[in-house]
Structure 1
Amino acid sequence: MAIKPPPELAGWEHWPGDEPFENMAGPFFYKRTADGVVSAFKVEPKHLNGGNAIHGGMLMTFADYALFTIALNELDEAGGVTISLNGEFVAAGPPSGLVYASGDVVRSTGSMVFVRGLVKADDTTLLSFSGIVKKFKKRA
Structure 2
Amino acid sequence: MSKTEIPPKGYKAFNISQPHIDHLGPGFYKKEDDDQLVLGFYVREEHLNGYGSAHGGMLMAVADFTLATSAMRKSDKPVTTVSFHSEFISPAPLGSLLEVRAKVTKKGKTLAFSKGNIKVGDEVILNFGGVLKIL
TM-score range, shorter chain: 0.7 to 0.9
* Runs of 4+ displaced beyond 6 Å: none
Within 5 Å, give how 1:38-77 maps onto structure 2. Answer: 38-76=38-76
Deviation at 1:103? 2.9
Give 2:102's aligned residue. Answer: 103
Aligned AA for 1:68?
A
Q: TM-score, normalised by structure 1?
A: 0.82
**Structure 1: gaps of 5 or more residues:** none
- Give CA-to-partner distance per residue, 1:102-127, whole Å, 9 cap, x none: 13211100011100101111111110
State the alpha-carbon separation in 1 of the partners of residues 83 and 55 from structure 2.
20
Within 5 Å, give how 1:75-94 maps onto structure 2. Answer: 75-76=75-76, 78-94=77-93
Deviation at 1:31? 2.3
Give 2:124's aligned residue. Answer: 125
Aligned AA for 2:56?
G
* Matched position secondary structure for 1:129: strand
Identity %: 32
- Give CA-to-partner distance per residue, 1:15-53, whole Å, 9 cap, x none: 4xx311111233433222326210111111001001001
Quick one: structure 1 residues 75 and 30, their matched pair in 2 at CA, closer, same or farther if it must change by over 3 Å?
Answer: farther
- Give CA-to-partner distance per residue, 1:76-122, whole Å, 9 cap, x none: 1x311111110000001111121011132111000111001011111
* Matched position secondary structure for 1:88: strand
**Structure 2: gaps of 5 or more residues:** none
State the alpha-carbon separation in 2 of the partners of residues 64 and 80 from structure 1.
11
Aligned AA for 1:31?
K
State the alpha-carbon separation in 2 of the partners of residues 22 and 73 from structure 1.
18
State the alpha-carbon separation in 1 of the partners of residues 107 and 119 from structure 2.
25
Is 1:11 equivalent to 2:12 in the alignment?
Answer: yes
Question: Considering only aligned residues, what root-mean-square deviation do their CA atoms show, in Å?
Answer: 1.8
Q: TM-score, normalised by structure 2?
A: 0.85
* Matched position secondary structure for 1:52: coil
